[in-house]
Amino acid sequence: MAKDYYNILGVSRDASADEIKKAYRRLALRYHPDKGENGNADKFKEVNEAYQALGNEEKRRQYDQFGQTFEGAGAGPGFAGFDFNNFRTEDFTGFGDFGDIFETFFGGRGARRRSPADIRRGGDLEIIVDVALRDTISGEKKEITTTHEIECTDCSGTGSSTKKQSTCAKCGGKGQIDITRQTMLGAFRQVKVCPDCKGLGEIPEKVCRTCQGAGRSKKNEKIKVDVPAGINSGQTIRVAGRGNAGWRGGAAGDLYVGVNILPDKEYQREGFDLYKTLTIPFTKVVLGGSMKVPTFYESVNVKIPPVSRAGDVLRVRGYGVPKVDSSNRGDLYLTLDIDVPKRLTLKQRRLLEDLDKEFD
């Protein structure tokens, strides 16, 4: 049954993109694994999965229509109106091999026949990393530690302690087997990859004790991942070939690094724009002037209009977050706050009293 991503994020189906983003950030902070006993890795992963679907306009449209995110849905002639998205072969267990027959013809929902290379390919890995907002401005290299499967050093990935192979007895070296099923619709022939040799046609002459014939073993490894400038929470970095090693020499899987941008004490991020509070002297509220404001890049002179008010927002173009794969940047928005002195000198008080008389 498809997951209810709206329910996971706690938003309605007509929620705006901003409402979905705010709900995701709130839940991601609540369930982040680094919160110790208060964290929940499973919930955090579920929330990220929901945001990946609903935070993207095209994927959200697919999810609303089909109950999942995928491209292309439909059936061949004669099956118009059949709900393939909710079809489950386990629902037909009472009809003998009907479920297997359906998968033989159609491969199940969104499935395709797996090649020997697919079967021997190593599994993908997922990991979540925290990134400071400042580091998303210029990009950085993040060192992470993963526990994954590598090629067995004792057998060099062959699965055999002698590094020699023998012909697979199950498939006779073909790498595939024929299966004939008798059903109520007649006999059906199906060709599958051999489960013993995974399509190689060979098996280890003498199984390696270290890896039990798989050709791989586990290891902790530190790797550096390039975090591109402008990346945001919920986005994923793919590191090709850094997942689990393949089965007996198969291709390695990939590593998917999910990014979580940590809250910043000074700045808030919305898309590629940055927001911060700028505290100004109360004299500049009336007289206006300019102030040098530090940013993630360099200090910039900002003009304060005369007769400003607390809560007014000033826009500084091009001082926000870099846009991914672009030379453009978002903007910086400064919300004005007034610095009212707690104590006044005698001179300051007299000047203010004289000014006060001017408004009587």
Among 127-131, 210-214, 334-338, the minimum mean pLDDT is found in 210-214
pLDDT of res. 73: 36
pLDDT digits (tens, 9 = 90+) for 132-145: 999 989 888 888 88
Q: Is the pLDDT of residue 112 over 60?
A: no
Look at residue 68 in the predicted model and tell me its pLDDT: 60
Note the pLDDT tens digit of each residue in 11-36. 888 889 888 988 888 888 788 776 65
- pLDDT confidence of residue 337: 93
pLDDT, average across residues 144-159:
85
344 against 321, higher pLDDT: 321
Q: Domains in the chain, start-ordered, CATH in brackets?
A: 115-164+205-261 (2.60.260.20), 268-358 (2.60.260.20)
Mean per-residue pLDDT, 49-74: 72
pLDDT of 197 reads 82
pLDDT in tens, 194-244: 888 878 888 888 888 888 887 888 888 888 898 888 998 888 889 888 888
- Confidence label for 88 from pLDDT (cuts 50, 70 and 90): very low
pLDDT of residue 69: 58
Q: What is the mean pLDDT of residues 324-330?
A: 83
- Report the pLDDT averaged over residues 250-267: 90
Average pLDDT for residues 244-254, to the nearest whole number? Answer: 83
pTM of this structure: 0.56
Calpha distance 332→155 (Å, rounded): 57
What pLDDT, on a 0 to 100 scale, did the predictor assign at position 36?
Answer: 59
User: Is 86's pLDDT higher than 80?
Assistant: no
The mean pLDDT value for 313-330 works out to: 90
Span of 63-72, 226-235, 300-309 with lowest mean pLDDT:
63-72
Condensed to tens digits (0 to 9), the pLDDT of residues 282-292 reads 888 888 899 99
pLDDT of residue 108: 42
Residue 319 has pLDDT above 90, yes or no: yes
More confident residue, 215 or 182: 215
Cβ count near 268 (within 10 Å): 14
- What percent of the chain clears pLDDT 70, i.e. is strictly above it? 81
